[in-house]
Amino acid sequence: MKFAKDFLFGAASASYQVEGAWNEDGKGISNWDVFSKIPGKTFEGTNGDIAIDHYHRYKEDIKLMAEMGLESYRFSISWPRIIPNGVGEVNQKGIEFYNNIINECLSYGIVPFVTLYHWDMPQVLEEKGGWINKETIDAFLNYSEVCYKAFGDRVKHWITFNETVVFCGLGYLAGAHPPAIVGDLNKYFQATHNVFLAHAKSIELYKSLKQYGEIGITHVFSPAFSIDNKEENIIAAKHANEIDTNWYYDPILKGEYPKYVVDIIEQKGIKIDWTDEELQIIKRASDKNDFIGLNYYQPQRVMKNNMDEEVERNRENSTGAPGNPSFDGFYRTVKMNDKKYTKWGWEISPEAFLEGLRMLKGRYGDIKIYITENGLGDEDPIIEDEIVDIPRIKFIETHLKAVKNAIEEGINLKGYYAWSVIDLLSWLNGYKKQYGFIYVDHKNDLARKKKASFYWYKHIIETRGEDI
Ligand code: BG6
């Protein structure tokens, strides 16, 4: 089977991880500009001040994407570059920059797939309470309107938010992302609700503009599986899916929160400020999603938590990687001897990917799906100056095979975006953890170099994945 002509082969990036130019041309300060400079917060103190300087080198980068045959480029817009203070004045230089990116893509026939919020929030808003403050919802609505109106004549694919579970979980439970709050369940659940509401309002607004593109949200896709057939572990995995998946997908795709989690919230005495009107807006918007974006890296292997002690949660284990009890202490994720893991302890399992897609179809039906991120974080081998990232090729190949199988089973999958198009700044792992098809030489003026995977992906696109 070949992938259909309208299936998009793409690759992705995010503003803070590639752009740099953190204080140029009128850009406002973001929460990440501040957070990354707090000692001890990121790997070896790395930050996105320069990142890989995509801001100045976008032409070279997009040319390389075109050479690779990329059909679509998923990138995000930096909110503080467009509206430096979160609300109020629009920075025309910021509009110009994204116009340039979009037009450059289109000149090569590359479809721009745009994320509005990939975690870099204007610091001014963060200081006023960020996603806890309901005013941030209106500010986001205004920001999204500015973007739809400025770019919507050419951008026909929009993602409102990237991975709510990550920026809320790491921001309000693990303290590993801004605003670096630890263990605050009230704030965590409130923030997620406010984000869902902002999403709902923004897609209603988008539809009212009649730009006839498509819009959705991107979630982490990390389905939980019990480690064995013991009932207590099966219950633990169900619990994990309710908390980590259904809580995020239900309000978007069904327009309501899962009762299972709502009951837990009530039992724990957590009070979410949500009005009937807000819940109705979420309900009303749920059938306006054109697609759901899935970022799949790994599943969760789950068992009942028999440990009494909480262990430290960080980026590596709070996304479900092994060794960590859930925030409510109910279950924990474990490493299994018969599974394969990356150097950063993330399980490699295309099988769980396919199984998870089946679960998703079972719960939400035929919603259109894009895989908006999938890839291998590695330290790439360099042999005689060539970057021979064979493990990445294997990783993407086996996951594309799962995508193919899913399509053959009738799952409505319309595109695949590898993470990432080019080596970039990993939020907490600096430049050590590489994901790209294009290498960036930090010892040589950020020079770009094609990896083995670059040529391989080009071939896959040219042949529409026939050999997979
Ligand atoms: C996803 C994010 O969570 O995972 C990306 O959307 C991120 O922005 C990617 O870079 C990989 O994460 P990490 O921590 O390995 O860089």
Which of these is catalytic: 19, 104, 347, 373?
Answer: 373
User: Which atom of ligand 1 lies nearest, measured to the CA of 218?
Assistant: 6
Q: What is the CATH number of domain 8-462?
A: 3.20.20.80
DSSP string, 15-48: HHHH---TTSTTPPPBHHHHHTTSTTSSGGG--T
Yes or no: say if 78 and 94 are a contact pair by the CB < 8 Å rule: yes
Q: Where are the domains of the chain?
A: 8-462
Label residue 385 left, alpha or beta by phi (over 0 means left) and psi (-120 to 50 means alpha): left
Q: How far apart are CA 32 and CA 12, in angstroms?
A: 19
Does 384 participate in catalysis according to the annotation?
no
Beta-carbon contacts of 376 under 8 Å, excluding residues fewer than 6 positions away, are 342, 348, 391, 392, 395, 396, 435
The CA distance from 221 to 76, in Å, is 19
Residue 238 and residue 264: Cα distance in Å, rounded? 14
pLDDT of residue 418: 98
What's the chain's Rg over C-alpha atoms? Answer: 21
Q: Which two tokens stand for residue 162?
A: 């990237």
163 annotated active-site? yes
Q: What is the pLDDT along the chain (468 residues), one digit of tens a residue?
A: 999 999 999 999 999 999 999 999 999 999 999 999 999 999 999 999 999 999 999 999 999 999 999 999 999 999 999 999 999 999 999 999 999 999 999 999 999 999 999 999 999 999 999 999 999 999 999 999 999 999 999 999 999 999 999 999 999 998 999 999 998 999 999 999 999 999 999 999 999 999 999 999 999 999 999 999 999 999 999 999 999 999 999 999 999 999 999 999 999 999 999 999 999 999 999 999 999 999 999 999 999 987 654 444 443 444 445 567 788 888 988 888 899 999 998 999 999 999 999 999 999 999 999 999 999 999 999 999 999 999 999 999 999 999 999 999 999 999 999 999 999 999 999 999 999 999 999 999 999 999 999 999 999 999 999 999
For residue 179, the CA-to-ligand 1 centroid distance in Å is 18
CA of 1 to the centre of ligand 1 (A): 31
> Does the global pTM surpass 0.85?
yes
